[in-house]
């Protein structure tokens, strides 16, 4: 495996020093892996090159081209594309969960958000970030500059989950804030009333936005494979319940499957992209879904 591809693994990325490094290495690993299965034939389109001229910014030199030609070429970009992207991240207390000492859902979701923002700015797309729990915590409108990306990454670096979940109300508020239609990407465990949440998703579609929903779960939330006696604590209310998981595992799995299938089905019926992820899923899955969507709408 090429060195860069290991940065698509959540356990490896979690060990990196800061959010900017995580975002850059995830994107570099993703670009490296695009030509490999299952993405064969899929590529990121780059702008044309021109020879380096005195006064050009050195950071725009394409060093790979230099390595092949022994000449300096500048990657040319437009100042900004017409695409506005809105990353909306759930930071309620339920996102604080992790099993077996693994990555918390909030960490996994924030790494995806960081990598998406990094990739968008590299393509000169404008990207914004909204974080919510019971209500909108803060909102950064879309811009396409590297200095603005640093601000987004700083917010993601410091992010900690708190308070109860208020997905539907928060998303309705975000939808009302968006004045220019674009691509909306929602990262959440979706642990709220599906009927109300779907109404909020449809609010974005009613305003002519394209929508990708990325549902982030812990592997144990899908399997319920806890084994012997266990104490379950509600992340938001702190209520505790002792039980033997194997007694209810089958019923839980069936209920969870119905819960996930409902979101999948209703998103499809409303022309909303739905992506199911857990905290062990390599990051290229989320980035590919975004890039595939972008190619269809730009």
Pairwise pLDDT comparison (89 vs 295), residue with the higher score: 89
Pairwise pLDDT comparison (224 vs 37), residue with the higher score: 224
Closest CA to 85 of 185, 224, 227: 185
pLDDT of residue 148: 94
pLDDT of residue 77: 55
Q: How far apart are CA 43 and CA 33, in angstroms?
A: 10
pLDDT of residue 44: 52
With H, G, I as helix, E, B as strand and everything else as coil, classify residue 282.
coil
pLDDT above 70 (res 76)? no
pLDDT of residue 68: 79
Residues 298, 81 contacting (CB under 8 angstroms): yes
pLDDT above 80 (res 55)? no
Going from the C-alpha of 85 to that of each of 27, 116, 124, 126, the distances in angstroms are 17, 10, 11, 6
pLDDT of residue 102: 87
Overall pTM surpassing 0.85 (yes/no): no
Q: How far apart are CA 33 and CA 13, in angstroms?
A: 16
Mean pLDDT of 7-25: 95
pLDDT of residue 286: 97
Domains of the chain by range and CATH? Answer: 46-77 (no CATH), 84-297 (3.40.50.410)
pLDDT above 70 (res 45)? no
Mean pLDDT of 6-14: 95
């Amino acid at each position: 495996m090429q060195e860069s591809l290991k940065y698509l693994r959540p356990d490896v990325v979690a060990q990196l020093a800061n959010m900017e490094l995580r975002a850059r290495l995830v994107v570099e690993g993703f670009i490296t892996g695009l030509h490999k299965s299952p993405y064969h034939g899929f590529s990121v389109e780059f702008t044309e090159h021109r020879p380096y001229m005195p006064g050009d910014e050195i950071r725009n030199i394409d060093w790979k081209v230099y390595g092949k030609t022994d000449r300096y070429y500048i990657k040319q970009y437009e100042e900004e594309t017409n695409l506005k992207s809105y990353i909306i991240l759930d930071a309620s207390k339920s996102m604080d969960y992790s099993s077996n000492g693994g990555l918390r859902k909030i960490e996994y979701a924030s790494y995806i958000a960081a990598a998406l923002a990094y990739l968008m700015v590299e393509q000169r797309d404008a990207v914004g970030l909204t974080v919510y729990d019971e209500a909108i915590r803060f909102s950064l409108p879309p811009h396409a500059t590297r200095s603005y990306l640093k601000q987004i990454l700083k917010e993601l670096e410091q992010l900690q989950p708190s308070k109860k979940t208020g997905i539907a109300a928060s998303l309705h508020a975000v939808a009302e804030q968006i004045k220019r239609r674009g691509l909306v990407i929602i990262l959440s465990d979706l642990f709220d009333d599906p009927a109300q949440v779907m109404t909020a998703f449809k609010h974005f579609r009613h305003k002519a936005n394209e929508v990708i929903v990325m549902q982030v779960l812990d592997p144990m939330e899908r399997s319920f494979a806890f084994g012997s006696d266990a104490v379950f604590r509600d992340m938001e209310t702190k209520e505790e319940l002792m039980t033997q998981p194997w007694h209810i595992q089958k019923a839980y799995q069936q209920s969870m499957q119905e819960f996930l299938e409902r979101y999948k089905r209703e998103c499809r019926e409303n022309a909303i992209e739905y992506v199911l992820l857990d905290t062990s899923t390599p990051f290229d899955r989320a980035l590919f879904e975004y890039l595939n969507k972008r190619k269809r709408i730009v």
